[in-house]
């Protein structure tokens, strides 16, 4: 085992979106160099990295060269193929390990793994054809949610089924060979815990963070979440168990449903910083991206102490529809921090940036974030 990877070294990141961008900013602040590999160029991460390699994840020669040029490899994109991390592992440590990514990137593997570990997950059944789907509907009850096993995020690849008659059409709509059917959870709220685990097993966490979604995409996050202390404690303990069990070195987010009768069920995990954790950049002593840098470099973790109640509002491309947002209006709100990801084209549903509002209470912070976001919208008369 070699020593920690110290400032001045080069860190490699697979995937080039906003998560990689904020990771690269944290890494560069700490004096590291950053190389990024993805199939695109002029990317949110590439714009702030030292080197942007444009290559397909399955161009294994390029991937090997990339891994040879860095001290450690991490990822910001969940659908990096297993072959890619396997090649990287021959040349540099991959943190979290490729096996963690492999488990989490497929809902069926992920949920089976967590359930077998005795952790509370949304009730589910694996299905591979309409007949299996119908019997799963009888087992789990209606309504239920059919989700693709692979490539699922932000509600993509899922269909709510409200009667047995809808089974065939839902299966056709999904059009994949493997899926899972989940019980529909009539949740009281959605929560997440973002946590980091170091090389020698030390653990820090943020939250729980309270999340609300719109059209299946995260809309608003608040920290701390409005839940009783014992629920908060339990969410953190479950998250600790997930990171320990998976032997995560890095950051992982656990998303939960809190049921109306006070039970926590894991909806999914993401072995990387998470959209709900963006508020840690402004709200906490060390943010989730700094923890990712520290953890993958084998350094001590930073403090995850919260400085002030805060709320985050996502900025989706929809806000650009009436015209370029009114930046002066949002920057005129002194307790609101604007983060933009450098994406050239705004599209409906595309994450373009976020706002974090800091205030004396979570309610106030949430109102401030929403008001600042509304103030950005151009009104065409
Ligand atoms: P996912 O992509 O699985 O995280 O789902 C996105 C969002 O869809 C979640 O944050 C929930 O708001 C909703 N959702 C997903 N699965 C379920 C479920 N089993 N029951 C109720 N709502 C769900």
Question: Do residues 41 and 139 both lie within one domain?
Answer: no
**8-12, 76-80, 205-209, 365-369: range with lowest mean pLDDT:** 76-80
Q: Is the distance from the beta carbon of residue 216 to the nearest atom of ligand 1 less than 6 Å?
A: yes
Domain CATH number, residue 54: 3.40.50.20
Question: Do residues 348 and 224 both lie within one domain?
Answer: yes
pLDDT number for residue 129: 94
pLDDT number for residue 151: 74
The CA 68 to ligand 1 mean position distance, Å, reads: 39
- Whether 195 has a pLDDT exceeding 70, the answer reads yes
Q: Is 82 contained in some domain?
A: yes
Question: Do residues 167 and 222 both lie within one domain?
Answer: no
The CA 281 to ligand 1 mean position distance, Å, reads: 26
pLDDT number for residue 153: 58
Question: Do residues 259 and 369 both lie within one domain?
Answer: yes
Last residue of a domain, one of 167, 183, 199: 183
| 3-class secondary-structure state, position 93 | coil
Query: Residue 154 CA: which ligand 1 atom is closest?
Result: 2
Question: Do residues 204 and 242 both lie within one domain?
Answer: yes
Query: Where in the sequence is the domain holding 77, given as residue range(s)?
Result: 10-94
Could you tell me if 367 and 312 are in contact, meaning their C-beta atoms sit under 8 angstroms apart? no
- The candidate with the shortest Cα–Cα distance to 136, out of 70, 174, 99, 184, is 184
- Whether 1 has a pLDDT exceeding 60, the answer reads no
Backbone angles phi, psi at 302, to 5 degrees: -85, 175
Q: Is the distance from the beta carbon of residue 259 to the nearest atom of ligand 1 less than 6 Å?
A: no
Domain CATH number, residue 174: 3.30.1490.20
DSSP class of residue 106 equals B
Question: Do residues 214 and 301 both lie within one domain?
Answer: yes
Question: Do residues 172 and 286 both lie within one domain?
Answer: no
Angle of CA points 243, 216, 188, to nearest 5°: 70
The CA 179 to ligand 1 mean position distance, Å, reads: 15
Question: Do residues 171 and 297 both lie within one domain?
Answer: no
Q: Is the distance from the beta carbon of residue 215 to the nearest atom of ligand 1 less than 6 Å?
A: no
> For 62-104, what is each residue's pLDDT tens digit?
999 999 999 999 999 989 999 999 999 999 999 999 999 999 9
pLDDT number for residue 155: 60
Question: Do residues 138 and 56 both lie within one domain?
Answer: no
Q: Is the distance from the beta carbon of residue 145 to the nearest atom of ligand 1 less than 6 Å?
A: yes
> For 125-163, what is each residue's pLDDT tens digit?
999 999 999 999 999 999 999 999 987 655 668 899 999
The mean per-residue pLDDT over the stretch 209-224 comes to 96
Question: Do residues 140 and 259 both lie within one domain?
Answer: no
Sequence length of the chain is: 381
pLDDT number for residue 354: 98
Last residue of a domain, one of 163, 183, 203: 183
For the chain, the average pLDDT equals 95
Question: Do residues 262 and 210 both lie within one domain?
Answer: yes
Minimum CA distance residue for ligand 1 atom 9: 216
pLDDT number for residue 154: 58
Q: Is the distance from the beta carbon of residue 184 to the nearest atom of ligand 1 less than 6 Å?
A: yes
CA atoms within 13 A on the CB side of 186: 5
Q: Is the distance from the beta carbon of residue 234 to the nearest atom of ligand 1 less than 6 Å?
A: no
């Amino acid at each position: 085992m070699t020593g920690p990877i110290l400032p001045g070294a080069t860190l490699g990141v697979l995937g080039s979106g906003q998560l990689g961008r904020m990771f690269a900013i944290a890494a560069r602040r700490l004096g590291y160099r950053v190389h990024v590999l993805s199939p695109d160029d002029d990317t949110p991460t590439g714009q702030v990295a030292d080197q942007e390699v444009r290559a397909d994840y399955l161009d294994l020669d390029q991937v090997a060269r990339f891994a040879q040029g860095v001290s450690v490899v991490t990822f910001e994109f969940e659908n990096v193929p297993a072959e890619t991390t396997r090649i990287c592992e021959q040349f540099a440590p991959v943190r979290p390990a490729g096996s963690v990514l492999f488990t989490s990137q497929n809902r069926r593997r992920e949920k089976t793994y967590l359930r077998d570990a005795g952790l509370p997950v949304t009730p589910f059944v694996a299905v591979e054809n309409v007949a299996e789907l119908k019997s799963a509907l009888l087992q789990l009850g209606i309504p239920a949610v059919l989700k693709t096993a692979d490539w699922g995020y932000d509600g993509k690849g899922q269909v709510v089924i409200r009667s047995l008659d809808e089974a065939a059409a839902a299966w056709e709509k999904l059009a994949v060979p493997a899926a899972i059917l989940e019980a529909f959870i009539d949740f009281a709220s959605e929560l997440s815990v973002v946590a980091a685990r170091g090389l020698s097993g030390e653990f820090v966490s943020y939250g729980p963070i309270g999340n609300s979604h719109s059209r299946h995409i995260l809309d608003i996050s608040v920290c701390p979440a409005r839940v009783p202390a014992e629920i908060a404690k339990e969410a953190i303990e479950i998250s600790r168990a997930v990171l320990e069990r998976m032997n995560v070195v890095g950051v992982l987010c656990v998303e939960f449903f809190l049921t109306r009768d006070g039970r926590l069920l894991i909806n999914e995990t993401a072995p990387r910083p998470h959209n709900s954790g963006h508020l840690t950049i402004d709200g906490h002593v060390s943010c989730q991206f700094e923890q990712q840098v520290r953890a993958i470099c084998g350094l001590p973790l930073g403090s995850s102490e919260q400085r002030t109640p805060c709320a985050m509002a996502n900025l989706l491309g929809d806000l650009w529809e009436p015209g370029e947002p009114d930046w002066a209006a949002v920057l005129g709100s002194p307790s609101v921090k604007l983060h933009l990801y450098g994406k050239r084209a705004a599209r409906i549903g595309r994450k373009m940036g976020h706002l974090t509002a800091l205030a004396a209470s979570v309610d106030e912070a949430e109102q401030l974030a929403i008001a600042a976001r509304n103030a950005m919208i151009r009104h065409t008369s």
